[in-house]
Amino acid sequence: MSKSTLFRIPRFLSTKTKILKEFNEIPGPISLPLVGTLYQYFPVFGKYKFDRLHHNGLKKLRQYGPVVREDIVPGVSIVWIFKPEDIEMLYRKEGRYPERRSHLALQKYRLSKPDVYNTGGLLPTNGKDWWRLRKAFQKHLSKVQCVKGYVEKWDSNSESSKLIKAAHDINSAILKTDNGPQLWRKFDTPMYKSIKKGHEHIEKIALKVVSEKLTSIKTTDSKASLLGEYLSSDETDYKDVVGMTVDTLLAGIDTATYSCCFGLYHLSSNPDVQEKMFGEARALLPDNNTPVTDRILERAVYSKAVVKEMFRMNPISVGVGRILPEECVFSGYRVPAGTVVVTQNQVSCRQKEYFRRPDEFVPERWLKGTVHYESVSPYLVLPFGHGPRTCIARRLSEQFLQVVLIKIVRNFKMTWTGPKLDSKSLLINKPDGPISLKFKTRD
């Protein structure tokens, strides 16, 4: 036996093994007894702000690194993750019935009214109850058709402003009731009363709309809308449909409005981009009164890139939250099952590590064959989430936004007249200032 054979070191000993760090080693803001890290969110002297989650996230990334642990409320840990590899791991481990900790006060309200609702609805419900609703409702929403064929025709009246206010009041309170002191579980706090009041108004409208549609179906036997399809389904009952209608109004109003505002801001602030989109719109719609069909949307390649770039810079929310069904490892840290993990996609999408010129609006980065095209991780730009719990109305939302922007750009030239626009975090990202636009009719 040769010396080289005798003294050969086994491969498993010679290979450098990566040592994993424990959950309590994850860096993050200091949590104090009774108050957790809430003191860091207090007005004036607090380091963070509840309505600027993306600013908070950037500060935490720079100070603590790509994995941050925070106990905003004592005893409830949140882990923030930034790397696309970690975000991918979260989605791969989320399981068949992805769970999240969100809309808790909303769930309390709905479960207190079993005469109106079967469950807390799609937003807060987890497990098999969530999947039953999701499976039933997504069948029709996932079909590729133009948004025009799906949406109910709503009459414009004074109720619209009340509905918008109700949705805004609820969405403004959800984040604080989810992550702040849970006193609303014991008694009706002012924040919970705001949710309750807004929900009662939306509920009233939903009950009216569903009742009228049900009468119409019985009278004319015509479905002709999403609502009609749901009411005619054997998989859902009247109370399920009422809950879904409330969810649609609650989630759709602010989401559609704010996304549209950010889209108009970026187009009006980038005249070259606007003109390219106008060129495409004019080619697809020679007559500016031509309706936008699903076939036209398929050919509107540049407008799709505009929408995607808008979502990169101004996504619907800072990221997505999940409750881990099993232990996961994020950037070398063990995170136990049951922990709430929240992705920081909004922050990551503005990092030079992942995008060239990250603070510039460049739709061409999504167009293959162009000099600006970038091949990036598919886990960075995820405005609607990913996997089984991706936003159920994703197709509807994307089509709506595309149609609105195409029609506006086709008919008007826009100029931005205000200061630089940022976002405020309610539950949904909202423009932090007025939408200051100047419109000029195109010939």
In the prediction, which pLDDT does 139 show?
A: 82
* Token couple for 322: 């999940």
Instruction: Give the model confidence (pLDDT) of 53-73 as tens digits.
Output: 999 999 999 999 999 999 998
In the prediction, which pLDDT does 152 show?
A: 43
Per-residue pLDDT band at 294 (split at 50, 70, 90): confident
Write the CA distances from 434 to 71, 170, 173, 271, 418, integer angstroms. 34, 21, 21, 20, 8
**In the predicted model, is pLDDT for residue 16 greater than 80?**
no
Mean pLDDT over all residues of the chain?
Answer: 90
Three-state SS annotation for 355-388: CCCCCCCCHHHHCCCCCCCCCCCCCCCCCCCCHH
- The β-bridge relationship of strands 340-343 and 333-335 is unpaired
Read off the pLDDT of each residue in 128-143 and give the average, rounded to a whole number. Answer: 87
Read off the pLDDT of each residue in 336-341 and give the average, rounded to a whole number. Answer: 97
DSSP string, 84-95: HHHHHHHHHTS-
Per-residue pLDDT band at 355 (split at 50, 70, 90): very high
* Token couple for 355: 């995008």
Q: Which residues pair with 414 in a beta bridge?
A: 439
In the prediction, which pLDDT does 180 show?
A: 85
In the prediction, which pLDDT does 192 show?
A: 96
In the prediction, which pLDDT does 156 show?
A: 45
* Token couple for 111: 């479960």
Q: Of residues 172 and 363, which shows the higher confidence score?
A: 363
Helices 238-269/159-179 angle, 10° precision = 90
**In the predicted model, is pLDDT for residue 277 greater than 80?**
yes
Q: Output the pTM of the full model.
A: 0.90
Cβ neighbours for 119, distance < 8 A, ≥ 6 positions apart: 110, 111, 125, 129, 130, 133, 240, 243
146 is in an annotated binding site: no
**Amino acid occupying residue 49:** K
Domains of the chain: residue spans and CATH: 23-441 (1.10.630.10)
Read off the pLDDT of each residue in 123-148 and give the average, rounded to a whole number. Answer: 81
Cβ neighbours for 332, distance < 8 A, ≥ 6 positions apart: 18, 20, 21
In the prediction, which pLDDT does 94 show?
A: 95
Q: What span, in angstroms and rounded, lies between the C-alpha atoms of 144 and 249?
A: 21
Cβ neighbours for 74, distance < 8 A, ≥ 6 positions apart: 31, 33, 34, 35, 36
- Minimum mean pLDDT range among 1-10, 205-214, 278-287, 294-303: 1-10
**In the predicted model, is pLDDT for residue 32 greater than 90?**
yes
Q: Which residues pair with 439 in a beta bridge?
A: 414
Read off the pLDDT of each residue in 14-33 and give the average, rounded to a whole number. Answer: 85
Q: Of residues 403 and 150, which shows the higher confidence score?
A: 403
Helices 127-141/238-269 angle, 10° precision = 60
Q: What span, in angstroms and rounded, lies between the C-alpha atoms of 362 and 431?
A: 20
* Token couple for 333: 């840290």
Q: Reduce the DSSP state of residue 10 to 3 states and report it.
A: coil
Read off the pLDDT of each residue in 91-102 and give the average, rounded to a whole number. Answer: 95
In the prediction, which pLDDT does 112 show?
A: 96
